[in-house]
Amino acid sequence: MRAYNGLTMKLPSLFGGTRGLEAQIDLYFDKVQEAGLVFGRAMEIYLNRGVSGEFEELVRRVTAVEEEADDLRREIETQMTTHTLIPELREDVLSLIEQVDEVTNHYEAAVYSFYVQKPQIDEAYRDDFAELARMAQQTAEEMVTAARAFFRDLSAVRDHVKKVQFYESEADRITTRVGRQIYESTMDLARKMHLSSFLERLDSIADTAEDIGDKLSILTIKRMV
Amino acid sequence: MNPGIFTYLSSGLFLGWSLGANDAANIFGTAVGTRMVRFATAALIASIFVILGAVISGAGASHTLGKLGAINTQPGAFMAALAAALSVYLMTERGLPVSTSQAIVGGIIGWNIFMGQPTDPGIVSKFAFAWVASPVMAGIMSAVLFALARVLLRRVKIHLLRLDHYTRWGLILVGAFGAYSLGANNIANVMGVFLNVSPFRDLQLGPVTLSSAQQLFLLGGMAIAVGIYTYSERVMMTVGQDIVRLTPVAALVVVLAQSLVLFLFASQSLAAWLAAHHLPHLPLVPVSSSQAVVGAVIGLGLITPGERIRWDIVRNISIGWLLTPTVAALISVVGMFVLQNVFNLPVRP
């Protein structure tokens, strides 16, 4: 039995408010953040030591956290549809949660592709890959903070979305710079394409987080009192 | 009781139906149109509270209407209400802003003209003041309430889900209050002209006595409820989807401001309390809930950066203040003449 099952039992009643659902949404964002932290650590280990026992363990953990987040998401979706909420907000929250779920999917897909394909990253590019992975994770981390603020403090969303945009453009900048360096190098084309596909995979985490940031900006304007 | 009385009451009942069909949307329109509250819930609450408001607090505004011109024949009362209903219909058909409150005043002034008796300018000025003051007050109230809500919500930082949960319940509770105020203030439009020719006698129901006027108001309230059930859903859907998109909290503030204004212009006990404390009090006069809503939305706009007052709407309302009573008065005079001289009905006492 998972740790959050105790909370799922607390169905929000007519007069009981929405506390159970609020706690579940918080817990869901905890899981997304946890997946990001595990992803960051896994990338660090891979870039330093390649596929090792420790890396494999972290890959398993990302998968486990992603599954837990999925279960929570489904539970939230079920509760949202039965809850006495204003339909427009319900639809907005459901689509937000769905979109955030893509970020955890990206984390999982990224570590798995490193685990399966074991790309050879030369010493010259390791720091850049590490920096890109950090920027991607930071973009997603800031997006989660913005999403939490959407529920509790609408006036703070804008500040966090600004940071999301900043980190995402940094990630883009690294991806472009390193991509050019790779294609200008003497590596054979297959390896160039292989490596740049990993750059794009890491960058897609930041891109997805930025899309969610944009969505949060619109949702916030709609709800701003 | 002569069953023929219901023929005479029919014009008032039709006005009641029309009021329920249109004005319930001022209270529950946004909530139902945006699916925050189900129509079945809204219709039940609105019907119950409109009837309660009419029966319990309907006397104040009706009394003032009676002072404008005491119609004391059944055909006269019938024609005054019919003139109001016809002018509402005609102006609505032409897309002109119209209010039952203003139409019924025209109907009564028509009676005064027909009878050759003067209309008390003091009473007319009370109505004029109330019509102008009601949207202005609704605007001020909604601006103040919204500013307070904004400060409070930014300070308390309540979870969005919980805020929506509370807002939904708030819309139901404020909707109930709004329906009560609508019944209390606007029943005068529906049944006010029939007060002097009421066919009912006081009725003792256990510890409760229902006066003749209250029985009339009950009947009028039921007509409003029929209007709510039969026609208001489509009006609510239109209101919810067509007008400015309001946030749920803003929608709640608009309904509350409008309800408070209607209540202030209807509550005898509040007026008595203010008078007892030598405070200025408002005349108890039927006012337009639609115009109060417009005032409340404009009030919200004033404290929202970048919003401007739509003067065309304000101008249209002002035209309605003059045009509606004039049209109704004309129809009323002509109608009474026709009833007397063509149908040989005893319009004069």
Confidence of residue B50 (pLDDT cuts 50, 70, 90): very high
How far off is chain B from A90, nearest CA to CA, in Å? 9
Q: What is the pLDDT of residues A28-81, one digit of tens each?
A: 999 999 999 999 999 999 999 999 999 999 999 999 999 999 999 999 988 887
Q: Which residues are CB-contacts of B81 (< 8 A; sequence separation ≥ 6)?
A: B11, B12, B14, B15, B104, B107, B190, B193, B194
Residues of B in contact with A147 (CB under 8 A): none
> Is residue A36 within 8 Å of A137, Cβ to Cβ?
yes
**Identity at B19, one-letter amino acid code:** L
Cβ-defined contact of A86 to B34 (cutoff 8 Å) = yes
Higher pLDDT, B199 or A93: A93
Asked if A152 and B157 count as a contact pair (C-beta separation under 8 A), the reply is yes
Distance of residue A21 Cα from the nearest chain B Cα, in angstroms:
8
Identify the pLDDT of residue A43: 97
Distance between CA B60 and CA B56 in Å, rounded? 10
Residue A6 has pLDDT above 50, yes or no: no
Report the complex ipTM: 0.79
Residue type, B214: Q
Distance CA B75, CA B113 (A): 15
CB contact under 8 A, A152 and B159: yes
Polymer length of chain B: 349
CB distance B259 to B47 below 8 Å? no
Please name the residue of chain B whose CA is at the shortest distance from the CA of residue A19.
B162
- For CA atoms B83, B88, B91, B92, the dihedral sign is negative
Q: Who among B149, B160, B249 is closest to A151 (CB)?
A: B160
Give yes or no for residue A199 having a pLDDT over 90. yes
pTM for this predicted structure: 0.84
pLDDT for position B290: 86
pLDDT tens-place string over residues B211-256: 999 999 999 999 999 999 998 888 888 766 655 567 888 889 999 9
Q: How many CB atoms lie within 10 A of CB B72?
A: 14
Taking each helix axis as running N to C, give the angle between helix A189-223 and helix A87-117, from 0 to 180 degrees, rounded to the nearest 10: 160
The predicted structure's pLDDT at residue A225: 67
Phi-psi region of B308 (alpha: psi -120 to 50; beta: other; left: phi over 0): beta
Q: pLDDT for A154-178, tens place per residue?
A: 989 999 999 999 999 999 999 999 9
Residues of A with CB below 8 A from B34's CB?
86-88
Contacts of B151 in chain A (CB under 8 A): none
pLDDT for B244 equals 56
Read off the pLDDT of each residue in B325-329 and give the average, rounded to a whole number: 93
Band the pLDDT of A13: cuts 50, 70, 90: very low
Q: Which residue has the tokens 């409340």?
A: B296
- Which pLDDT band, with edges at 50, 70 and 90, does B321 fall under? confident
Please state whether beta strands B203-205 and B208-210 pair in parallel, antiparallel, or not at all (unpaired): antiparallel
**Per-residue pLDDT at A12:** 35
d(CA A111, CA B124): 80
Q: For all residues of chain A together, what is the average pLDDT?
A: 90
User: Among A88, A151, A225, whose Cβ lies nearest the Cβ of B161?
Assistant: A151
Average pLDDT over residues A106-125: 96
3-state SS, residue B31: helix
- CB–CB contact A152 B153 (8 Å): no
pLDDT bin (cut points 50, 70, 90) of residue A5 is very low
Whether B159 sits inside 8 A of A153 (CB atoms) is no
Q: Does the pLDDT at position B88 exceed 90? A: no
Distance from CA of A209 to the nearest CA of B (A): 21
- pLDDT of B320: 79
- The domains of chain A are located at 11-223
Q: Which tokens belong to A8?
A: 């799922």
- For chain A, how far is it from start to end, CA to CA, in angstroms? 40
Topology of domain A11-223 in CATH is Methane Monooxygenase Hydroxylase; Chain G, domain 1 (1.20.58)
Looking at mean pLDDT, say which of B8-12, B48-52, B70-74, B232-236 comes out highest.
Answer: B48-52
pLDDT tens for residues B140-190? Answer: 999 999 999 999 988 888 898 888 888 888 999 999 999 999 999 999 999
Q: Pick from A22, A150, A225: which is nearest to B249 by CB? A: A225
List Cβ neighbours of B311 (8 Å cut-off, separation of 6 or more): none
CB atoms within 10 A of CB B185: 34
